[in-house]
Amino acid sequence: MRQRKLILVTNDDGFQSQGIAQLAELMMPLGEVIIVAPEGGRSGTACSVSSTTTVRLTELSPRGDARVVSCSGTPVDCVKLALERVCPRQPDLVVSGINHGDNASISVHYSGTIGAVIEACMKGIPAIGYSLRTREKHCDFSPYANVIVRVAEHVLENGLPVDVCLNVNFPEVERLAGVRVARLARGKWSAEWASAHHPRGENHFWLTGYYTNLEPEATDTDYWALDQGYAAITPLKLDMTAHECLAALTGLNQDFPRERCNPQRS
Amino acid sequence: MRQRKLILVTNDDGFQSQGIAQLAELMMPLGEVIIVAPEGGRSGTACSVSSTTTVRLTELSPRGDARVVSCSGTPVDCVKLALERVCPRQPDLVVSGINHGDNASISVHYSGTIGAVIEACMKGIPAIGYSLRTREKHCDFSPYANVIVRVAEHVLENGLPVDVCLNVNFPEVERLAGVRVARLARGKWSAEWASAHHPRGENHFWLTGYYTNLEPEATDTDYWALDQGYAAITPLKLDMTAHECLAALTGLNQDFPRERCNPQRS
């Protein structure tokens, strides 16, 4: 008898967010669902782990057939703990989101949603992050349901290449124009700090800022796709090596024969 | 008159760590040094940012000619705030470290040391992370001084390609065997949680675990270089797109013509 597929659902907005409730519900027809998600908001926590504090798991009331476990740590902690201490077997798929806010372009580096996806990918599990370009806490996810489910089905059926995961971003539209497989746009955040006036007059700051797409003319980027009303699907890889730069740097190997590496002994 | 080079020094172990003191001292002959570093340890904070709390800067006593500013946030916050609120002009170089612990292989994703480097790279500034494979808080950095300075000089003279930064890791040795420009090894962390027995008996866990090099035979990886006593220099790139997978996925574009993306209206 074939076992049902096991799907781990997590996010960085916390177990109580609307996005994860929607995502878990959409996954339920595809297999057994377990939700392990942060106790509260963990936006911008990237791939961070709790290295100096303990992390607590709390079993909550199930949603339908799905177990729900909250975690005091980061999204990456959620995935690491789910795999070792919660899931009865290795999941067939890890999905993260639906994030309230897009994770396109360089935002992948800051995103806790994507952090969880990268962690699952490191563990050899196909993983997908879903994010919606919105600033709202309450939003209508129904325009994206078909794509969310179909992409998850595609990955359950076909898997993903080794060390590759998917980043799916949606524009906030009533009707999607379609789907575009796209690369990450080059981008930049600017004017990132607002002064926060503390009564004692110390130097306190709030993170803010605006994003600039550095490739506004390119039609193969995730930002372009979102701007045109498409869902953007980007494969991400674990290997951050700039392979194309290795050859140019190898001169450094010769710069440092053993005797020049080490300080002179007098 | 040519202005002196400006070098921003940061880390994830905190401004009081031995590694950053060493790194700042090594940079001083190369230009004007400004230290902006976390108030305390921020290991494992990756590219995380403080999105829900304010961040505080505190001007401390200078070290020699170098300003020292501590920051209550993450290493990425340090770089972002340094660039907007501390540095008198854009730095010519950002260096991060010397981290107590290596940041080779997949550890780049978790590393706050590398988070700061990636942030600087996003801002178009040449950036280098330095890390030492050690578990000690007090260690002798003198075997690495020549390489640290020479790599920084090389980058100050030649710059780095757009959206590329350097990750330099040292083995804990008395005499380096040399330098190897190397790619990131594929690796895996396992058995990552120890139970922490809380008096109230809740489910608390400590992050721990062991690393496995998944490519022990490969001689072109950073792990191999470190194991052989070499310093490993790896160019990292911002673009995490798995370009080689884009073509295979484009079938999804056709899977989702506009009418199939959107739910049926009844």
Per-residue pLDDT reduced to its tens digit, B87-145: 999 999 999 999 999 999 999 999 999 999 999 999 999 999 999 999 887 889 999 99
pLDDT tier for residue A202 given thresholds of 50, 70 and 90: confident
| Residue A229, pLDDT score | 97
B118/A110 CB distance under 8 A: no
| Residue A135, pLDDT score | 83
Strands B127-132 and B93-100: parallel
| Residue A136, pLDDT score | 82
Q: Is the pLDDT of residue B1 over 60?
A: no
d(CA B72, CA B86) in angstroms, rounded, equals 14
| Residue B263, pLDDT score | 65
Give strand pairing partners of A38. A71
> Does A217 touch chain B if contact means CB atoms closer than 8 Å?
no
A256/B47 CB distance under 8 A: no
Å from A231 to nearest chain B CA?
9
> Where are any strands of DSSP class E within B133-250?
164-170, 178-181, 187-190, 193-197, 203-207, 210-213, 230-237
Q: Is the pLDDT of residue A143 over 60?
A: yes
Average pLDDT, whole number, for chain A? 94
> Does A206 touch chain B if contact means CB atoms closer than 8 Å?
yes
| Residue B264, pLDDT score | 59
What percent of chain B has a predicted confidence (pLDDT) above 90? Answer: 88
B231/A261 CB distance under 8 A: yes
Q: How many CB atoms lie within 10 A of CB A245?
A: 18
Question: Chain B, 231-260: which have a CB under 8 Å from a chain A CB?
Answer: 231, 233-243, 245-246, 248-250, 252-253, 255-258, 260
> Does A218 touch chain B if contact means CB atoms closer than 8 Å?
no
Answer yes or no: are the C-beta atoms of A236 and A118 closer than 8 Å: yes
Of B44, B57, B154, the CB nearest to A203: B57
Interface test with B, best of A184, A241, A255, A265 (most B CBs within 10 A): A241
Q: Is the pLDDT of residue A1 over 60?
A: no
Of A122, A161, A261, the CB nearest to B245: A161
A175/B246 CB distance under 8 A: no
Give strand pairing partners of A204. A196, B56
pLDDT tier for residue B202 given thresholds of 50, 70 and 90: confident
Query: Would you state the torsion angle of the CA atoms of residues B168, B171, B176, B181, taken in this order, to the nearest 10 degrees?
Result: -40
The H-or-E segment that residue A152 falls in is helix A145-158
Q: Is the pLDDT of residue B36 over 80?
A: yes
Closest CA to A96 of A46, A18, A24, A48: A24
DSSP label of B179: E
pLDDT tier for residue A199 given thresholds of 50, 70 and 90: confident
Question: Chain B, 82-141: which have a CB under 8 Å from a chain A CB?
Answer: 84-85, 106, 108-110, 112, 115, 118, 122-123
Q: Is the pLDDT of residue A266 over 50?
A: no
